């Protein structure tokens, strides 16, 4: 089978449907022949020579690409001119925004094109590797912090210098999806004080684990839905939310908004009076600018400064080199799932393919059947119910039998040892058993977050030595037995203290700031 990558003709689009690395994967691992239009990767910093070296064939025009290819890999949706170049049963993979482009879907269906909307990939665990929205949101979240820092005019991190003290910047992230979490991580790594708001209570732990403060309102209402996106909240919640943002507006230096709903206008979260309350020199980055914006003052595709000195960013650098690589990987993963070149198949019974294939066999296949992707609560309930009904009997019964058998075996062993072993041996054996039991339990029950599993074992052995040494210590400090016991205790304590010290140093290696 032949894969074609035409140049993007949408104004401002810098990405490309395949990079030299993904071309190598398409050819060497998936068995496709790859054809790419001349100059298609120039805006993403990929030359025709790089594509040739990867094994692709360079064709002069888009007409040649659409004529020869069985599968078309694009970023933006095809135009009317490009549809005219396509042929029946050709497969197209690209962004399509199907909910907003029903006319385009009908044109593709009339042409007999089997079109996959990469932005309609369902958000289920198996499809994460194909989720272009998450891949691009990750870049957008990172880039939002970098560009806001550029326009902010001060350090993001706090500093104490000979010239004076610099306060750290305060960043507010609204929406803690993929883009929001990427923004939180980037802002924290640059030293800013980060606060985040989201209507979904389930993301609170994620926000806090990244070092940000989770903001919420006093109304108990959860915005989580089965689709993974937020639902429309009650008016009382919205009013409390707006009041919270008003309080934050006068404090924060940078606001990053990320809330988007597929197929709908972005919700308005940062209103005109919020902008007016912000300090001069503050920055707003609206990642939802292309779908109407979360800020009422955002201008899509523009960066401007308001009368009160607030810079509002309605466009971001796409980082086309990185974005094309991630997007190309998403496409390759989907082609993997569809059988590669050797066993290529459009399986409409597949949950991912059937929902992303928006036109198939001359028909529009949109909207798809709903697919719940967040059954956590149901699963938890089932597990809890099962454990309540089944586990106590089986577990407690099995555990009791195991303990009884162990006691009987140990009793028999001690009885035979008592019959035949000398008195001195029994005394030492008793000390050994007590040391093992007490030492192991004392050290092993320490949380593994405080030391590595390896240190847990060595510390347990050291604990055994300490308990044994304490038992063998006599009142006469000059006796050889007591001296050896004290030396053993000292060495074991050094080992335990050293273990925690080394583990603490290891943990610091993985901490930022």
134 as an active site residue: the answer is: yes
Q: What phi, psi does 312 have (nearest 5°)?
A: -115, 120
Where is 78: in which H helix or E strand? none
Alpha-carbon distances, residue 58 vs 27, 288, 312, 457, 472 (angstroms): 14, 36, 41, 60, 83
Q: What phi, psi does 364 have (nearest 5°)?
A: -80, 125
β strands within 241-336, DSSP E: 254-257, 283-286, 303-305, 311-313
46 as an active site residue: the answer is: no
126 as an active site residue: the answer is: no
Question: Which of 167, 193, 164 is CA-nearest to residue 513?
Answer: 193
Is residue 258 within 8 Å of 207, Cβ to Cβ?
Answer: no
- Tokens for 212? 């940000």
229 as an active site residue: the answer is: yes
Residue 485's contacts (CB-CB under 8 Å, 6 or more residues apart) are 468, 469, 470, 472, 473
Looking at 49, 61, 79, 128, which residue is catalytic? 128
Looking at 37, 54, 90, 131, which residue is catalytic? 131
406 as an active site residue: the answer is: no
Angle at which helices 453-472 and 480-508 cross, to 10°: 160
Give CA–CA dist 144/141, Å, rounded.
Answer: 5
Longest distance between any two alpha carbons in the chain, whole Å: 101
Give CA–CA dist 90/37, Å, rounded.
Answer: 17
Looking at 37, 90, 94, 134, which residue is catalytic? 134
Question: Which of 289, 197, 199 is CA-nearest to residue 249?
Answer: 197
Looking at 229, 336, 337, 354, which residue is catalytic? 229
Q: Show the CA angle centred on residue 199, arms to residues 193 and 200, nearest 5°.
A: 100
Looking at 48, 70, 123, 227, which residue is catalytic? 123
Residue with tokens 């008016």: 235
22-42 b/e with 16+ CB inside 10 Å = b? bbbbbbeebebbbbbbbebbe
Query: In this structure, are strands 164-166 and 159-161 parallel, antiparallel, or unpaired?
Result: antiparallel
What are the residue numbers of the active site? 123, 128, 131, 134, 229
């Amino acid at each position: 089978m032949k894969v074609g990558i035409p140049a993007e003709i949408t104004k401002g689009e810098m990405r490309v449907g395949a990079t030299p690395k993904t071309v190598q994967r398409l050819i060497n691992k998936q068995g496709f022949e790859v054809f790419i239009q001349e100059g298609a990767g120039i805006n993403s910093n990929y030359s025709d020579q790089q594509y040739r070296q990867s094994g692709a064939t360079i064709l002069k025009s888009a007409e040649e690409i659409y004529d020869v290819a069985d599968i078309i890999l694009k970023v933006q949706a095809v135009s009317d001119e490009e549809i005219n170049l396509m042929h029946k049963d050709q497969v197209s993979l690209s962004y399509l925004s199907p909910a907003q482009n029903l006319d385009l879907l009908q044109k593709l269906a009339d042409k007999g094109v089997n079109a996959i909307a990469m932005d309609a990939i369902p958000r289920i665990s198996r499809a994460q590797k194909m989720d272009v929205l998450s891949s691009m949101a990750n870049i957008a979240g990172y880039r939002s912090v970098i560009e806001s820092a550029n326009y902010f005019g001060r350090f993001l991190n706090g500093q104490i210098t000979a010239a004076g003290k610099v306060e750290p910047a305060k960043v507010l992230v609204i929406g803690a999806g993929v883009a929001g979490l990427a923004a939180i991580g980037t802002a924290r790594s640059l030293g800013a004080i980060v606060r985040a708001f989201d209507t979904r209570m389930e993301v609170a732990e994620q926000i806090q684990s990244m070092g940000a403060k989770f903001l919420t309102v006093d109304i108990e209402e959860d915005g989580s839905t089965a689709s993974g996106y937020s639902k429309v909240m009650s008016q009382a919640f919205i009013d409390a939310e707006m009041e919270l943002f008003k309080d934050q507006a006068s404090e924060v230096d940078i606001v990053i908004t990320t809330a988007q709903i597929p197929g709908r206008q972005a919700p308005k979260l940062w209103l005109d009076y919020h902008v007016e309350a912000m300090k001069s020199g503050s920055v707003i980055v609206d990642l939802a600018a292309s779908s109407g914006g979360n800020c009422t003052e955002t201008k899509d595709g523009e960066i401007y400064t308001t009368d009160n000195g607030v810079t509002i960013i309605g466009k971001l650098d796409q980082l086309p080199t990185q974005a094309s690589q991630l997007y190309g990987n998403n496409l390759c993963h989907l082609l993997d799932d569809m059988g590669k070149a050797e066993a290529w198949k459009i399986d409409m019974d597949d949950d991912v393919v059937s929902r992303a294939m928006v036109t198939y066999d001359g028909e529009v296949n949109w909207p798809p059947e709903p697919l719940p992707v967040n059954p956590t609560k149901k699963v938890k309930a089932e597990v809890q119910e099962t454990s309540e009904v089944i586990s106590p009997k089986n577990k407690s019964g099995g555990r009791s039998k195991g303990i009884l058998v162990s006691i009987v075996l140990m009793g028999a062993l001690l009885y035979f040892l008592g019959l035949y072993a000398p008195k001195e041996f029994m005394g030492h054996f008793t000390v050994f058993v007590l040391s093992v039991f007490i030492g192991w339990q004392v050290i092993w029950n320490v949380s593994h977050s405080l030391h590595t599993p390896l240190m847990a074992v060595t510390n347990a052995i050291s604990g055994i030595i300490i308990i044994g040494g304490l038992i063998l210590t006599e009142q006469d400090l000059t006796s050889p037995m007591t001296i050896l016991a004290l030396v053993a205790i000292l060495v074991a304590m050094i080992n335990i203290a050293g273990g925690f010290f080394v583990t603490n140093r290891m943990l610091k290696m993985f901490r930022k700031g």
